[in-house]
Amino acid sequence: MYRLVLESDDEVNNVGSGSSSGSNDVTSGVGSNNVLFPFANEVNISGYFVCSVTSSDTSVTLWHKRLAHTNIKNIEKMQAKGMLTLDKKDFEKCETCVRSKFTKKPFPSVKRRNTSLLELIHSDICEINGILTRGGRRYFITFCDDSTRYLYVYLLKSKDEAFDAFKVYKAEVENQQEKRIKILRSDRGGEYFSREFDAFYEENGIKHERTSPFTPQQNGLAERKNRTLVEMVNCMLNQSGLPTNLWGEALLTTCHIHNRITSRVIPTSPYELWKGRKPEIDYMKVWGCVAYYRTPDPKRSKLGDRAMKSIFVGYAMNSVAYRFLDNESGVIVESRDADFFEDKFLKDSETTNPISIPSTSRDVPGPSRYIEEPRRSTRTRKEKNLGDDFVSYLVEGSQKKVTREVIFTIDFEDDPKTFSEAMSSRDAHLWKEAINDEMDSILGNGTWELDNLPKGKIPIGSKWIFKKKYHPDGSISAYKARLVAKGYRQREGIDYFDTYAPVARISSIRTLIAISALKGLYIHQMDVKTAFLNGYLNEEIYLEQPEGFVVPGQENKVCRLIKSLYGLKQAPKQWHEIFDTTVTNFGFRHNGADRCIYSKCTSDYTVVICLYVDDMLIINTDLEGISETKKYLSSNFKMKDLGEVDTILGIKVKRTGSQISLSQSHYIEKIPTKFQHLNIKKFNTPFDSCVKLGANSGRAVAQLEYASAIGSMMYAMHCTRPDIAFAVSKLSQHTINPGVEHWKAVSRVLGYLKRTSKLEMTYMSSSGILEGYSDASWIDQTSDSKSTSGWIFTLAGGAISWASKRQTCDRNYVHKLTNHLIAHPTLIRGLHKIPTTCIAHSTMEAEFIALAAAGKEAEWIRDLLSDIRLWDVPMPSIPMYCDSEATLSKVYNAVYNGKSRHIGLRHNYVRQLFENGTIKVVFVKSSKNLADPLTKPLTRDLVGTTTRDMGLKPQ
């Protein structure tokens, strides 16, 4: 016996034996309001349960809910089959269904747009599984004209190069078509939304259309072009059997072909619509096939091969020629004289004549396209222990496969030392490109001209210097080759005279960055390519022809230098003179405090240039002044526009909103690795307060390596890490004769850096007060009774200038004392006792000497800020915080007695700064004095507090 009870407001129906309280008997058949419910799967009966449906059960909304929010169409089908009798008028849109079942709206098919030439440009950036090209490119960007479907492709090393690619594309197509781009359509990638891009859109009146968030379908044409290009590239690589690092050459060839073939969308080829004439395609060859090109004349001989075997990899961009990958050197050459074997590929000749193709790809190699390897032994391979000086790797595969695929993914080689080493290295083709770029710059700049060597003249030699440049994250950014003259062979008074050339102080750079964070200024960066080649020489200098570029038939001639060259002693001076003249002619003027800071003020903007040899920062209140400055500099020098500053002097510059951070984390992480044999452990403080370092009375322990360690730490200390200034200053005093105790102290500093490598010097817009702190430690070294001075200045919440050094005597004081001794012959024997360092007689005197040194720096910072016109004038007095009340009373007292006349000059100087309003001296507790860690070792808690107050914050 089974019973089903359906409860409603009107009745209760019983199913099974018995009766119902309603008017219909469930056993008498199926009435007009009855519904059949199959329950055969739930109860073991062969029939159906039947229940009646009342008038209140005809609600569509109610049955929609009963049937688990099924689709309304399903309910309509059930009603059509007589399973339900419902009134659809009361159905309303179900909010629960909308909330629970919501999907993307369908994308309707887009009809052919009737656009004109350059009216709409589609763009997108694509990456091929992180595989790098031979030149180190990871991405490619496409620009497709909507009207003609004509396509441009550019290879990029990083996405931030998209802006430069668009500028090149815009300049070319607008010049060729004599029309202007109106709309650029792209996805919402951050590379299209930089400040430079936005300003460029506004400046050129370009409308930037972007897709909705997470909706790449709205950029369907560009996405489809990417898919088409990648599919064609994949086919070409698979057919030819060439390695994947040649995808860049294949992609450019694919773009070349794609523009010359018809498609389903347009009746003719994009080339015909773009150029106005039908393309010729009879010159096209099968990509990746074996080819021979004519041996160049300098390498031709009457006997021997007249052609060189190579692989066809594309078509030349700006000449009627083909591009070939030379088998022997791995260098890509261009030639119009060639013969092709379009049915032969690299993989076909693998067994007889293997071809070695250098690779720069860092990706994991894909499936091998080479012949099957011979059977190998199944014996277990064991790694040999060759000692601590060797690192061994177990690599699966034959020697041929390892050489071609694996060895290039690991950078074992150091930078080449000679020209022959570079040409025989695995990266020979990359070094060759770098050498050619350098020679193009030298010859294009008119640096020299060939001439006969005059009698009595001695030519100087030259040398190639090779260097890999790295990003802050450690990845290779570029291969650089530099031709350097052997300047050590120059003779003073004959080949050169003056050599001095200034560079910007690192304190100036930090100050400008702090002001930029404080006032929201733009900071852009430019690099002068081959900067030293721009200066003109006043001396007559002859140079031997560089290795690898001796002109045939003129081997006996030398290069008479017209412009300066790297390595010449006067090259930095000549470069600075030509740059100084160029920028001052454009309206810039020198900064009185730093000769490498230039500023220009107009009614619309103020722009500042900070020059450090060939690296420069351009700071401005708006982008107009930056653009004008860049344009002017590019018209006078060969410049590289790096956009917003990213790295300066190896320091990573990161901008987050109104905050700017300076980081050397990558550099600092390398320092402990360089000295890992010291078994460096992490420490919470840079210097042990219980250790008193003295002079080493024995033999020096690894003096050269000690000096290298001090230099490595000193660079970090000078740039972004004032928290180790005291430790580095203390350790550097023992560089000549270090001992075991000094090495232990070095290891502790390295351990502290290892623990705090992620700290960044941070500047914010919330703190606009320039403050200074001064402190001294009286006779902290009993061996020579010298005191230590320390001072630090903060702006925008971060330190901009600091120092920790032993106290020295003022030269003016030495000069005054010398004149005094000369005026009194009876005291002439005291001349040899003139002090070069100053011994303070008390804590007050030590503090006063430190305050005078800090006041000198305060005056310099004040002059720097006053001269760049980015600071409010007149400037208020700089508060100088000091924790010695005796020193404060000495400052405010205009009279001093004879016992302190040895600091009289300093007293007068500080008094003058105080009376002129340059500084004001304020008392501060020692626990709040930021200069305290610059004069003595502190405990862990105080180190953490002062480090944060200096502006050092974790990433």
CA neighbor of 854 nearest in space, from 795, 816, 905, 802: 802
d(CA 296, CA 801): 59
DSSP secondary structure string, 875-943? PPPEEEEES-HHHHHHHH-----GGGGGGHHHHHHHHHHHHHTSEEEEE--GGG-TTGGGTS---HHHH
Residue pair 802/853 in contact (Cβ under 8 Å)? The answer is no
Residues whose CB is less than 8 angstroms from the CB of residue 132 and which lie 6 or more positions away in sequence, other chains included: 138, 245, 360, 361, 362, 363
Residue 523 to residue 525: CA distance in whole angstroms:
7
φ, ψ (nearest 5 deg) of residue 158: -145, 160
**CA separation for the pair 319, 677 (Å, rounded):** 56
* More confidently predicted of 194 and 357: 194
Helix (H, G, I), strand (E, B) or coil at 6: strand
Q: What is the pLDDT of residues 856-881, one digit of tens each?
A: 899 999 888 888 877 777 788 889 89
Distance CA 258, CA 235 (A): 14
More confident residue, 685 or 24: 685
Helix (H) or strand (E) holding 141: strand 139-145
- The H or E element that residue 742 is part of is helix 740-755
What does the pLDDT read at residue 113? 64
> What is the per-residue pLDDT across 242-278, written as a single tens digit (0 to 9) for each?
888 889 999 999 999 888 888 777 778 889 889 888 8
Tens of pLDDT, residues 729-758 = 888 888 888 888 888 888 899 999 988 988
CA angle 232, 237, 238 (to 5 degrees): 100
* Three-class HEC string of 94-117: CHHHHHHHCCCCCCCCCCCCCCCC
pLDDT at 703 over 90: no
The rounded distance, in Å, linking the Cα atoms of 287 and 667 is 44
Q: Residue 763: which pLDDT band, with cuts at 50, 70 and 90?
A: very high
DSSP 808: B
| pLDDT score, position 291 | 92
Q: Percentages helix, strand, coil for the chain, rounded to the nearest 5? A: 35, 20, 40
Concatenated DSSP letters of 638-693: -EEEEEE--EETTEEEEEETTEEEEE-HHHHHHHHHHTGGG-----SSSS-TT---
% the chain with pLDDT above 70: 79
Encoded tokens for 692? 């008193």
Max distance between CA atoms of the chain, in angstroms, equals: 146
Question: 871: which DSSP letter?
Answer: S
Distance separating the N- and C-terminal Cα atoms of the chain: 74
Read off the pTM: 0.55
Strands 139-145 and 151-156: antiparallel
In this structure, are residues 775 and 935 in contact, taking their beta carbons and an 8 Å threshold?
yes
Q: What is the pLDDT of residue 125?
A: 92
Return the percentage of the chain with pLDDT > 90, whole number: 13
Rounded to 10 degrees, the C-alpha dihedral 705/709/710/711 comes to 100
Taking CA atoms, 505 is separated from 590, 761, 853, 856, in Å, by 14, 17, 17, 15
Contacts 24+ apart (CB under 8 A), 379-383: none
Q: Where are the beta strands (DSSP E) in 444-561?
A: 448-451, 462-470, 476-485, 522-528, 542-543, 558-561
User: What are 633's two structure tokens?
Assistant: 């500099």
Q: What is the pLDDT of residues 431-460, one digit of tens each?
A: 888 888 888 888 887 888 888 888 888 888
Which residues have a Cβ under 8 Å from the Cβ of 282 and sit 6 or more positions away?
none
Q: d(Cα 452, Cα 554) in Å, to the nearest integer?
A: 10
The confidence band for 140, taking pLDDT boundaries of 50, 70 and 90, is very high
| Contact indicator for 590, 497 with CB cutoff of 8 Å | no
pLDDT, tens digit, 9 for 90 and up, residues 295-323: 876 667 777 778 888 999 999 888 889 99
